[in-house]
Amino acid sequence: MPFALLKYGLSSKYPARRHFPKATDLKPAYDVVIVGAGGHGLAAAYYLVKDWGITNIAVLDKGYLAGGNTARNTAIIRSNYLTPEGVRFYDESVRLYQGLSEEFDYNILYSVRGHFTLAHTDAAMRTSRWRAEVNKHLGVDSELIYPDEIARLCPALNMSDDVRYPIMGALYHPPGAIARHDAVAWGYARYAGDRGVEIHTNTEVTGFVIENGRVTGVETNRGRIACGKVLQAVAGSSSRVSALAGFKLPIRTIPLQACVSVPLKPFLDQIIVSGSLHVYVSQSDRGELVMGGSTDPYSLYSTRSTLDFKEGLLGHMLELLPFLGDVKLVRQWAGMADMTPDFSPVMGKTPVENYFIDSGWGTWGFKATPVCGKRMAETVATGNLPALLQPFRLERFYEFEQVGEKGAASVGH
Amino acid sequence: MKIMNCPLNGPRNISEFVWGGEVKAMPSGTEVSPRDWADYVFIENNIAGVVREWWCHVPTSFWFIAERNTVTDEIIRTYPASEVFNRRVEFAAPAKGETK
């Protein structure tokens, strides 16, 4: 019996709790400046406070709180990747996500649904089997299943052979989940803000002060601040900000679009992805079908939406769920994805001393929010890149040690 | 639909084309360090502004160059690659004893 709730409800006063600290002027100096107040930047601030006791932090964002890709993703959380490096990394993230609402006392509406990556070709079946075996070897729950079991677990799916690409099997990942993406950012921000971290929105970084190869200050549209260390976490603007610091990245900025339908009665419990059909769908707790597909066919610094995207996506979606033919879309949007050559992130040290980077998150960033925050906080606090992040260092492109996750990261192929 | 003006085929639906990325200057000479080569292959300028890019008209396999604004998505100009690439590049290493 929730007595506390009852007492609260019967009380004559309803104390409102401010989520985030009031906006203040910038101080002259901070120990750590985080550029980008999205999920990753705010998570890094949280873990810097919680794990390392560092609170003299400013998180800057040129826009509103977590208004970039954190606000625009389709909120899928999973660890069924292809490479051992990738699987270990995303598995730590899923484990952190599972306890997150409790840990920072903010409901992120974490909903375990089961994730199905449908295979429509022999090659896809082979890759699914490969991923299942790598996952199992590393303790991640994934299994290759066949049409009979898919039909049993996903009764809404069209399993008929009378389509262009019949379903041959699927990589089934039971821990696959969705969460409220905004709540993840707000939960991290609230905890950090309560403990002294300053969050400055509408504060754009216009340059860096670099002396003898080390960053010592940050120029913003509200003045200059001195800093001990900088963490860049600005998906969509990674190349632009790194250019201000004098180095380039192996990143191309390409829009990723998504859309939602009108709310429908719950009929789809699962998260369905099809690499061959370039579509994925889940049903939110409001009943909306949240749908996405591949990235746009060329680079663009814009979040505009297109008719081409809808046509391509929905044509294939109707192959999987034909009864949606008369359902209307209610909203369409896009984010700007940092696409890397190997579909893995770029994290860790940069050519500038005390300047750390968390970028290259392409279409795979939301699920990694907790592990990024935790491990980038560790990197910033200790100055050393932990073993878990070593595979994702910027240097890997010069050492020809890429972490190829194209098959597992997205449907853009 | 968005129209791309192919120098060979005229204005076509952009869905007939594949984007080939930024036109980058290839490191010259026969002794290019692995680091310089990795820079050329992987590292991008990725600027927000007018860029010169490779595009391929897939039905005719015709590669050409387009100048496009990567913020407004306006395609400013398209032209055949021969406008920029008009000198032969020697890849063969010089014979022993000779210098390039």
pLDDT (tens digit, 9 = 90+) per residue, B13-49?
Answer: 999 999 999 999 989 877 899 999 999 999 999 999 9
Q: Which of A278, A298, A350, A402 to mutate to test the interface with B (most CBs of B within 10 A)?
A: A298
Please tell me the pTM assigned to this model.
0.94
Check if the beta carbon of residue A37 is closer than 8 Å to that of residue A69.
no
Average pLDDT, chain B: 91
Residue A231 lies in a domain: yes
Residue A245 lies in a domain: yes
Residue A407 — pLDDT band, cuts 50, 70, 90?
A: confident
Pair A148, A189 in one domain: no
Q: Which of B4, B36, B42 to mutate to test the interface with A (most CBs of A within 10 A)?
A: B42
Q: Where among A339, A357, A374 does a domain terminate?
A: A339
Pair A243, A280 in one domain: no
Pair A304, A257 in one domain: yes
Q: Cβ of A249 and B43 within 8 Å?
A: yes
Pair A201, A236 in one domain: yes
Residue A10 lies in a domain: no
Residue A141's domain spans which residues?
Answer: 115-174
Which amino acid is it at A295? T
Residue A388 lies in a domain: yes
Query: CA–CA separation, A306 vs A257, rounded Å?
Result: 8
pLDDT in tens, A350-397: 999 999 999 999 999 999 999 999 999 999 999 999 999 999 999 999
Q: Cβ of A248 and B43 within 8 Å?
A: yes
Q: Is the pLDDT of residue B95 over 70?
A: no
Residues from chain A contacting residue B73 (CB–CB below 8 Å): 300, 302, 304
Pair A226, A262 in one domain: no
Residue A90 lies in a domain: no
Residues from chain A contacting residue B15 (CB–CB below 8 Å): 297, 308
Residue A93 lies in a domain: no
Q: Cβ of B43 and A250 within 8 Å?
A: yes
Tell me what pLDDT residue A41 has: 98
Q: Where among A339, A365, A387 does a domain terminate?
A: A339
B48 touches A: beta carbon within 8 Å: yes
Q: Cβ of A397 and B44 within 8 Å?
A: no
Pair A58, A196 in one domain: yes
Which chain A residue is nearest to residue B68, measuring alpha carbons? A300
Q: What is the CATH number of the domain that holds A120?
A: 3.30.9.10
Rg (CA), chain B: 17
Residue A14 lies in a domain: no
Which chain B residue is nearest to residue A242, measuring alpha carbons? B45
What chain B holds in terms of domains, given with CATH numbers, is 3-83 (3.30.2270.10)
B14 touches A: beta carbon within 8 Å: yes
Neighbours of A73 (CB within 10 A): 24
Pair A244, A269 in one domain: no
Pair A267, A328 in one domain: yes
Which amino acid is it at A43? A
B35 touches A: beta carbon within 8 Å: yes
Number of structural domains (chain A) is: 3
Q: Is the pLDDT of residue B100 over 50?
A: no
**Alpha-carbon gap: B59 to the closest alpha carbon of chain A (Å):** 16
pLDDT in tens, A152-170: 999 999 999 999 999 999 9
Tell me what pLDDT residue B28 has: 83
Q: Is the pLDDT of residue A131 over 50?
A: yes
Pair A262, A328 in one domain: yes
Q: Is the pLDDT of residue B98 over 90?
A: no
Tell me what pLDDT residue B87 has: 85
Q: Where among A308, A339, A370 does a domain terminate?
A: A339
Tell me what pLDDT residue A412 has: 58
Q: Which of A398, A400, A403 to mutate to test the interface with B (most CBs of B within 10 A)?
A: A398
Q: Which of A251, A304, A397 is facing B38, going by the closest CB pair?
A: A397
Pair A334, A266 in one domain: yes
- Written as six digits, the tokens of A104 are 């920072």
Q: What is the CATH number of the domain that holds A403?
A: 3.50.50.60
3-state secondary structure chain B: CCEEEECCCEEEEHHHEEEEEECCCCCCCCCCCHHHHHHHHHCECCCCCEEEEEEEEHHHCEEEEEEEECCCCCEEEEEEHHHCCCCCCCCCCCCCCCCC
> What number is the ipTM of this complex?
0.91
In total, the C-beta contacts within 8 angstroms joining chain A to chain B are: 59
A44 φψ region: left (φ > 0), alpha (ψ -120 to 50), beta (else): alpha
Residues from chain A contacting residue B34 (CB–CB below 8 Å): 398, 400
Residue A87 lies in a domain: no
Crossing angle of the two packed helices A181-194 and A39-52, in degrees rounded to 10: 40
Which chain A residue is nearest to residue B54, measuring alpha carbons? A298
**Alpha-carbon gap: A363 to the closest alpha carbon of chain B (Å):** 17
Average pLDDT, chain A: 95
Residues from chain B contacting residue A239 (CB–CB below 8 Å): 44-47
Tell me what pLDDT residue A410 has: 75
